[in-house]
Structure 1
Amino acid sequence: MEFRTKVELPVGQGEIRHSDPILLWGSCFAENIGKLLTDNKFHCDVNPFGILYNPLSIAKSVSLLLDNKVYSAADLRFDKGIWYSLMHHSSFSSADQSECLEKINFRMARGREMLGKAKWMIFTWGTARVYEWKENGEVVGNCHKLPDRLFTRRLLEVEEIVSAFASLLERIRQVNPEVQFLFTVSPIRHAKDGMHGNQLNKAVLLLAIERLCQLFSSCHYFPSYEIMLDELRDYRFYADDMLHPTPLAVSYIWECFCESFFTAETLRVMKEWQDIRKGLEHRPFDAKSTAYYTFLSQIMLKIERLKEKFPYLDVQNEIALCQTRLKK
């Protein structure tokens, strides 16, 4: 007997390999998946502008990279001793203007480089509600806890999102014709407008993605939101705020992601790497013992063999860690 509704996974839509550069954009869930990909030695760049929640902010951010935009002091705002950008997460903000600009332009340069070579771009949309800066009517990426009276808040239309992203995807493919686009809707619920408002919000995103997938064969969809709602509907899979998925829920969605887009060989490389990672995280009783040195040497050998088979894996930090420990 089956006591839950299984979500059909998009197996066969495409394969993501360790050799594929991946650029991720979007909400906190994009950060979660990006970290899991990075931890498993995929070559990723996650959120060059920091966390972004709505499709139009993400589209504008990507467009700024395509436009080769370089931020200057004129693009920043200053309030309560802090310099910040309305398009960037608060992690870029600083009391020093030069430091703020340096952080912004460094990440944008890195993102621009990845944009030109990415095999996959993964977009995680969290909400269809946007905040428009009243001074110029433009959608912002982050409100930085400024007063609500400075913004107009509204729900996007499906066609508005489709139009913005259709033209954006065409622009991206002009500089990177081989890139594939993977869309997902964040399983994090946005309760500010109530649960009915959250459903309307997510429905707009789902309809827009469906339309884009119909328009572009390079667009694919992964059902993060549906897995959370249908397979993990018990509240034990939600954090204390009853809105965010627990680490266990994220892990399950990650397993579904792996099943959908990774080949048997990719999964085998991931297993080998996890064994190495566990070895590196091991804390010995005696770090200067012969037994531990032998253990480290075996780990080093495993890393070198893996690197020999898959030269595109970035394992330099782990090799340097082993060498440092062996010298002690």
Structure 2
Amino acid sequence: MAAKLARAGRDVSVIARGAHLERIRTAGLTIRSPESGFSVRLPASGAIDDFAPFDVVIVTAKAPGIPAIARAIGPHLGDDAAVLFATNGIQWFYAEGFAPGGEALDTRRLDPDGDISRLVGAHRSFGVVVRSSNVVVEPGVVSNSGGGSYALGGALPGGWRRAGEIASLLDVDGARFTATPEIRREMWGKLVRNTAVALLCGLTHATPGEAFSDPGTRPLARLAMREVSDVAAAHGFRDLLDLDAELDVVSRMTAMRPSLVQDLELGRTVELDAQVLIVRDFARQAGVDTPTISALAPVLEQKARLAGCY
């Protein structure tokens, strides 16, 4: 995302760490894709203070790292700053200004100490649902194997106009930003697939294509997708996907490595809360039966915990 914005002439800087940061500083940021590749030079640092204050911050770290990022950027955010969370799953602000059926939702696992809410705040926050598959194949080099579209919406109902302004600023060749008044619907539309992928691929380390095409696990994938759809419907989001068509699409994804599997294999903290366990929480709160998710989630949770990844 940063590379494509920089290539289009936007004033963008990146915060990175370790060898990734050093490579970007010395050789630029390189993008590889089936269609083409390119490199760009852009300001990079490991210190937030080097680029403060900010107009727009795009947070592309995994969900478990966001509270620490909130503590770092919070002191540098003016009232008009916009913070975009380009993360998987249900995003931390989901329950801000949203209470399906009039019942308050419990989303504490997404912001356990309230740091994101306190230091960033929903009034500055926007969600980004990413439809782009990427892997850092070596420091400073990102392989994009498909997609480059992003749905952008405000955390609060009144954020629609500003979301449109930000989307216009960020919409460049190869990174297509579209503003939406229904960012929560977009989250569920992706989560129907991602929760099932996380459960099956996280437990087997299969690719999505392998897990969704195998005659033994394909029925489990469909059941998990159906259950996520039922939970979404309890929140008012219906007719998200044709499940059988989606199963066929995912069955062809034999080269993609799901991010949760990448994290497990590298010993990094997994996005289990945002992609799986929050769905189980919502199901329990809404009285929706999710036997497949309820059976598989504790197994994946234990696996991740024993691996030091949760």
- TM value normalised by structure 1: 0.25
Relative to its length, the structure with more strand (as a share) is 2
Larger of the two Rg values belongs to structure: 1
Q: Which has the higher contact order (CA 8 A, sep 6+)?
A: 1
- TM value normalised by structure 2: 0.26
